[in-house]
Each structure stands twice: as C-alpha cells, then as structure tokens.
Amino acid sequence: MSPIINKADNQPALTFYSKDQIECPICSTKFKREELKSGGGRLIAGSLTDELRRLYEPSTKFGEIFPQVYSMTVCPKCHYAAFQQDFCVLDKESLERIYEHMQDRYNSVRRLFAKIDFSSARTLSDGAASYYMAIMCYELVDAKYSPTIKQGVCALRAAWLFAELGKKYPEENYAYASNLFYRKALFFYRRAIELESNGKEMIANLKSFGPDVDKNYGYDGVLYLAALLEYKYGARGDPAKRYELLTQQRRSLSKMFGLGKSSKNKPGPLLEHARALYDNLVEELNGEEDDE
C-alpha cells in the first residue's frame, strides 16, 4: 500500500492507494483503489442518526471525514461504478449494458458537477457522484445481483453526501438534490422488499445491508428504513393513501420488533430507533383518525 502524503507538513493524509491494481471489466483501464486509513485519530465516532448513519466528530488534525466517499469502486475512464464486491464479477450482459450507457451516465453527472475526477484523491463531490453513477449502473444489472436494494443504499448515502455539500455550498442546489435522493431511496427500499416478497429478487445476496459503512444492520434494518423513509419522505398529497402506507409500516415494525408489547428491555440502537419511529407513526395515525 502506498500512503498519500500531505506535502505541506509531511504528515500522512487520510487515504492510501492499494498496491494491487484493478482492471476495469468494461474498458480494461487499470487503476488503484483509494482507501481510507482508520488509525491515528482519523475517525472519531459520534452519534448514530435515525437513518442508521454514523456521524464522526471532526478531527483536530484531519478535519471532517466522510467514510462513505471511498466505498464505491469507480473506473476513472468509463465511470463504471459499483460496490467493491461486484465490480469485477458482474455477468457479461450486465457489463455490456453498462458500457452502452456510458455517455448518458457521464452527461447526467455533469449536470450536477462541472468536474469529476476519479484519477486523483476523492473529494466530497466525487463521493456523491460515485453513488449517483452506481445507481445508474445497477439499473442495468441482472436481478441475481440484487441491484434494487443496492440502489437503495446508494441513494441513501448519496442523500447524506449531497446534504453535506448543501451545508458547505448553500448557494447551490445540493440540498434539493439530497431530498430527491431520499425519495429515490424510499422508492428503491419499497421496491426491493416487494421484489423479495414475490421471489423476483433476493435481498439476501447483499454482502452487507448497511446502510452505512461501519455496521451491518441486516434485513431488519432494511425493513426499518423502509418504514422511516415512508414516514419522513413519503408523499403527503393523498391523506388516505398515506394513512394506508403508514398503517402497513406500523404493523411491520410491531411484528418485527414486538413494539407496543413487552420489548422495552431489549437492547440495541436499531430497536431504540424503531421504537421511536413506531411512536411517531402511532401519533400521526391517531391524529388523522381524530381529524375524521
């Protein structure tokens, strides 16, 4: 592994490039993955959000760190993007479809960012772009690779990173883009559960359910996030439809975690967030019943 050195102060930087090269299965470009170093006080774990995102305290030495920036493997030439475990193993037909849409993918990203460059150290913008490109790539991938839930995870992480960009550059439309990716995440999580329930696409093929890079919350995490995204970002234009969807999510949470019964002594951050969400769902649903 080759560490990246900050030439200004001769101190190790956040990342390093792996020794072994990766060959893009689409355009044969060879490149090295940029990896985040975790030692030396770089990652100072903070709170866990209701979206199961781990926040990190800014380091005095390294400043803000967003581990999600480095998760996706991206070819710097054709901009094929995928999770590391998928990048070199997709079937020929899926790769051919991804290649055919290379220019469309590039043009779409350019509408959000004037410049993207995956041949040098990644920026927050590069990280956000990597998930957007991965969503477009997985749209073309065979169902046996569970692309829909992977699109959901990518959309959720994209929403997080675009929100961070919105804080730094409020004059841009990144906050608006973040909201759009949250809605995309809702769609993909809904769709993934539907496809899994009818046997058309198995969620179990995912190596890690995430949604963040530090912990795997499993299938229960997927069901919880589907409910949370529905509650926070679901459409509100049709009150009757919203009531129906939230009722379904309340039942799902109650069945999954035993909420509303005798689960208060069960440990775990996922349960705590699920209980809070359940209470919010009950409050809104009861309010809607009172309005009738």
Tens-binned pLDDT, residue by residue, of the chain (292 aa): 333 333 334 445 788 998 899 999 999 999 999 999 877 778 888 999 999 999 999 888 888 899 999 999 999 999 999 999 999 999 999 999 999 999 999 899 999 998 888 999 999 999 999 999 999 999 999 999 999 999 999 999 999 999 999 999 999 999 999 999 999 999 999 999 999 999 999 986 677 899 999 899 999 999 999 999 999 999 999 999 999 999 999 999 988 877 655 445 444 889 999 999 999 999 999 986 555 5
Q: What is the pLDDT of residues 190-214, one digit of tens each?
A: 999 999 999 999 986 677 899 999 8
**In sequence order, what are the beta bridge partners of 83?**
72
> Whole-angstrom Cα distance, residue 82 to residue 130?
8
- At 259 the pLDDT is 60
Compute CA 261 distance to the chain's CA centroid, rounded to the nearest angstrom: 32
Q: What is the pLDDT of residues 212-235, one digit of tens each?
A: 998 999 999 999 999 999 999 999
Q: Which of 54, 291, 257 is nearest to 277 (CA)?
A: 257
Beta strand pairing call for 22-23 and 30-31: antiparallel
> Whole-angstrom Cα distance, residue 8 to residue 264?
53
- At 291 the pLDDT is 55
- At 7 the pLDDT is 35
Q: Which of 228, 284, 235, 218 is nearest to 253 (CA)?
A: 228
Place of tokens 């710097």: 76
Place of tokens 């199961």: 52
Q: Which of 223, 217, 205, 212 is nearest to 259 (CA)?
A: 223
- At 95 the pLDDT is 97
Q: What is the pLDDT of residues 100-121, one digit of tens each?
A: 999 999 899 999 998 888 999 9
- At 276 the pLDDT is 93
Q: Which amino acid is at 231?
A: Y
CB 153 within 8 A of CB 138: no
Q: 113: buried, middle or exposed (CB in 10 Å: 19+, 13-18, 0-12)? A: middle
